[in-house]
Structure 1
Amino acid sequence: MRVELLTVGDELLIGDVVNTNAAWMGSELTRAGVTVTRSAVVGDTLEEITSAVTEALSRADSLVITGGLGPTYDDLTRDALAALAGVGLRRDPATERAIRERSTAYGVRLRASALRMADLPEGSRKLPNPAGAAPGIGMVVEGKPVYALPGVPSEMRAIMAGTVLPELRAPRVPHVLTLRTAGVWETVLAGRLAPVEKLDGVTLAYLPHPARVDVRITAETTEALRAAATLARERLGQAVYGEGRDAGLATGVLGLLIDRGETVAVAESLTGGLLGAELTGAPGSSAAFRGGVTAYATPLKAALLGVPEDLLAERGAVDPDVAVAMAEGARTRLGATWGLAVTGVAGPEPQDGKPVGTVHIGVAGPEVSRSLTPALTLPRDGSRARPLVREMTVVHALDLLRHELLRVAMIREWEEDQEDLEGLS
């Protein structure tokens, strides 16, 4: 089954709204064994919609459309489908009744235009929408199935899950596993995984994100997937921090801490609280996260975290030893086993003679106190430089702590093995 996606809306074309619907639908359809061959965005005009639908159906086996089913004059998807099918619109009594009842329940005056959401092309079927008022539309156009869904993400997802995915799901769903990695470039991962690429019935896809890459392994059989995943883990080692698309880096770090009965506190400068927010966003974080200090102004690094004033005066706030001192301060003052700190220049201007993108990360623990050396030099160009530097800093900081936890665990395991051997001698 080859499916194309079509998203309707001027707000998407001009950049006012990010097209998250297409990304979610593409992911879910792929997981269902459906091949998504193209995704397009068009504006709110009858001509653009009809043209895009005709072109898509000339190539694909089916088409899924989102947007253009609302109550306003520029919601024209239903009109376009009716025009292509050469039919008129009919008002669905049950949908009209539901819209009226919904309006009464919310105490909102019903506008006549709202009833447009109850209009369906003749010969189409109504797709139930448990999350909203406008139903989806299912119909055959030019001999191929077309699904039209509301653009509201929650409503689109509800109809996709309830109707579209079950109907389009491939009889043989491929076996898929996603390995999540951090701190390694995509090209390096591809080099390490070259032997996996050569396995029969196995394909790899690299999905880059700021400072991390997801590796999606697709195989024809369970056995092939198991063999590919085993070899991939061996080739990637500690670069892999989790499996499955819902495995977060913060969740993995917190899991290591919880397993050991340890805790972490953070000290942040350029990230302004993002690091603490990432940790507390993971379920169960209260078992291992003590708290954080956002010491954005340089004097607060001394006042709140105990960073030596002479160090700050001599080198400024963007310095590896300052990062370590911040980590030590967070650890001792917040009573945590580990301290993690970040300081750097997010931009748009240099600071203390350091260019934008310069970042230092410090970690302090019961058996280690050091900075990430050499300093990170993160992207510094373009309008996305500042948010990208901050986002990548969070990933690198969590990954540094993860590696330290794993390293200390290996040392402790080795020491325990030595004690056991001494006991046998």
Structure 2
Amino acid sequence: MKKNTFKKILGGITAPKGFKASGASAGLKPNGQLDVALIESEKESVPAIVVTRNAVKAAPVLWDDQIVRKDKQKIKAILVNSGNANACTGNQGLLDVQKEAECISHCINCEPEQVIVSSTGVIGVPLPIDQITAQIPILTTKLSVEGEKEASHAILTTDLVPKTIAVETEIDGKVIHIGAMAKGSGMICPNVATMLSFITTDACIDQDCLQRMLNIIARDTYNMISVDGDMSTNDTVVVLANGMAENNMITESNIEAYSKFFEALYFVNETIAKSIARDGEGATKLIEVHVKNADSVEDARILSKAVVKSNLVKTAIFGEDANWGRVLSSIGATGVKFTPKSVSLTFSNAKGEILLLDHGKPVPFDEKLAENILKEKEILINVDMGTGIYKAVAWGCDLSYDYVKINAEYRT
């Protein structure tokens, strides 16, 4: 097994040099819970961004995508609110985003176009803009390295836990840090989900290189998760790189530096993506689906995502029932051409492995072992297509009674 060239560290979003964060309550959520967060970089950062493919995009998504796509645009700060998505709010929503950015720019002495704005929460409700802007001076005063804890809590909605990680690696004799915080629990479907993911790094990296890197990583991490099959209006993944590690600029021509940074950045985003799937609304189990020996990479992606999106598979895992026929049915419904007689299927985890289908033939299995495997919090479904050389991994969660309850009462 290849040894990682990076190591996990503490610190989350503020682990990289020059980044500070804070959180506050603007009254968007009940009981005075934290609901606005600010991240600031001491130095201007080069950005990369991936946003939802939903045709209905929230106002902050439109703002962010526009400013990051500007040539040579640098970013200084990210403002996030939870409790209100500022989606389907018409022209007023766009005006509110601009007002948020202008307010931040006055407080930290930058241009409004240097401020990323993100929102998550209820769709179709006007943003209580005055409540948010009233907290911005407080957020800027509170900025600190330790503020990442409040910030990571402030962006949550139905999440049960904050999602943070940080790693470090060495490039050109300089220690490089990457930190992240994210939210996401429901309305999660491949092609990015109702999730906000913010990644910071002190690496010096070419902006176009960083954008291409994020596109590749998002395709194989965030775009391979599903909680409920619904695509959101607010999904955003942003990476900011401020260059304060003072390494030689990372480009695609510097293969060693590129590879080491890519490996660490991939790990950060894969960890965040899996934590979102694990924390799916009402979820009790993480489902990880490995498809191998498919005829193409795209086939492997489609097949693995079909399994994690299947409500019948998800309910079977919740009920701890080794109903493997549902897995086979879900891949058969994708339209991908394959030979059923070539397919093999196992369920596995730390408790063991059971072979359920061997080259298209059902295999008698130990029901007690199957029960022990399915009682665990993480279930691996391994699908061997038996004809090609390509593979993919997707992540999802089970579908429980609580998912219906949470979403039936979301606005109340």
TM surpasses 0.5: no
Larger Rg: 1
Name the structure with the higher strand share: 2
TM-score (norm 1): 0.28
Structure ranking higher on relative contact order (CA contacts 8 Å, 6+ apart): 2
